[in-house]
Structure 1
Amino acid sequence: MTPDQVLDEFRDAGALLQGHFILSSGLRSPVFLQKMAIFSEPARTERLCRQLARVIEERFGKIDIVVSPAIGGIVPGYETARHLGARAIFVERDPGGPFSLRRGFSIPAGTRAVIVEDIVTTGLSARECLAALKDEPGEVIGAACLIDRSGGRGEIGLPLLSLVSLDIPAYPADALPPELAAIPPVKPGSRAIG
């Protein structure tokens, strides 16, 4: 699957939106990738995550565990793990706190894990996920996402693989270009702005 075919999946699902969006990071952007439009279609999700599993396996080899940040990463993490023949687990936020492994999830010694995200903008969720795994005895060897919208600038602390890398601009609310400032903002994401 080529990057253009991946983007066609987003276009065909109505998941590539244009306007003025408040991202989960709090930054503003003229483009929003509504991944839930993708994840609501199992066949489309399966195609994309099968390709992501191939990319992961080609780069990292055998993977035992896929870890994803809740909520947005759970669906692609599970589906990618299915294609890797791996376990799928996730980190979630303690009420008012950071991500942590709960529900008896762990990364045992001798296992190899990757973090799987949906969309990376700044890399914050993946960094927080990695921080939650620092005391696990298994090895977290890399991260992967469907689309890296940072153009490779989203620093995670691990190698980051993606099906598509785009350089989509994102701006602080007080530094908007005039054409974006002229459009009323919409917040379609799920994470509260702090």
Structure 2
Amino acid sequence: MLEQLKEMMKESGAHLEGHFLLTSGNHSSDYMQCALLLRFPRYAAFAGEALAEKIAKYSPDIIASPALGGLIIGHETAKALDVPFIFCERQDGAMTLRRFPFPEGKRVVVIEDVVTTGVSSGEVGAVLAAGGAEWVGTGAVIDRSGGKSSLPSAPESLWKVDFPLWKPGECPLCARGIPLVKPGSRPKIS
């Protein structure tokens, strides 16, 4: 399965190499742009089915994701498990559940495309738990947290990657003058 996923990431252009500013503020030479993978329905279905197999042990009643990155993979995972799918989105900077009733008393697994720090997935899990759901696990296509996410437990993932990360003042790519790019769902460099 991992080799198939790696090939799909390569074919879709989802594994980028260069000089990237991550949402965490760190810099990296590699970026996983899962939107490029998930734009192909066949690849999205493959990843959703594979994630569903990994999280089935949690017996989720519902799958939830952060918008925007988790929408496609969350839906595909829910489809493979034949359970409902909901998503949270930012409103005035805070993650909220706006379009759906709270899944009070339901077992929820949060699904994301890429976990780096775990902040977005953690915010979704916390919002749903505060509304009475039981946040039982987290899953992602890519786990690039290196075991250091802010999540209460390690996410289930299809591919654990450990690309180097640098603080801006320590980045060798900055020192070499390689232009910095901010890909992903929050493209503004501040």
TM range (shorter): over 0.9
User: Residue in 2 aligned with 1:174?
Assistant: 169
The CA distance in 1 between the partners of 2:146 and 2:31, in whole Å, is 15
Percent identity, please: 38
| 8 Å contact kept, 2:147–2:154 | no
User: Residue in 2 aligned with 1:93?
Assistant: 90
Provide Cα deviations, 1:34-88, integer angstroms capped at 9, x if missing partner.
111111110111111110101111x32x221101001111111011000011110
User: Residue in 1 aligned with 2:155?
Assistant: 160
Give the alignment's Cα RMSD to 1 decimal: 1.6
The CA distance in 2 between the partners of 1:131 and 1:112, in whole Å, is 13
Equivalent of 1:102 in 95, 98, 101: 98
- Return 5+ residue gaps in structure 1 as ranges: none
User: Residue in 1 aligned with 2:27?
Assistant: 28
User: Structure 2 length as normaliser, TM-score?
Assistant: 0.92
User: Residue in 2 aligned with 1:80?
Assistant: 77
The CA distance in 2 between the partners of 1:189 and 1:55, in whole Å, is 25
The CA distance in 1 between the partners of 2:25 and 2:16, in whole Å, is 17
The CA distance in 1 between the partners of 2:38 and 2:158, in whole Å, is 16
The CA distance in 2 between the partners of 1:17 and 1:52, in whole Å, is 22
Displacement after TM superposition at 1:140 (Å): 1.0
Displacement after TM superposition at 1:159 (Å): 4.1
Cα distance change, pair 48–142 in 1 and its aligned pair in 2 (3 A): same
Which letter does structure 2 place at the counterpart of 1:83?
Answer: A
The CA distance in 1 between the partners of 2:40 and 2:122, in whole Å, is 28
Give the 3-state SS of the residue equivalent to 1:154 in structure 2.
coil
Listed as ranges, the matches of 1:4-83 within 5 Å are: 4-57=3-56, 59-60=57-58, 62-83=59-80
- For these two proteins, the number of residue pairs brought into alignment is 188
Provide Cα deviations, 1:6-42, integer angstroms capped at 9, x if missing partner.
2221111111111101112222110011111111110
| 8 Å contact kept, 1:26–1:193 | no
| 8 Å contact kept, 2:19–2:181 | yes
Q: Note if 1:121 corresponds to 2:116.
A: yes
Give the 3-state SS of the residue equivalent to 1:91 in structure 2.
strand
User: Structure 1 length as normaliser, TM-score?
Assistant: 0.90
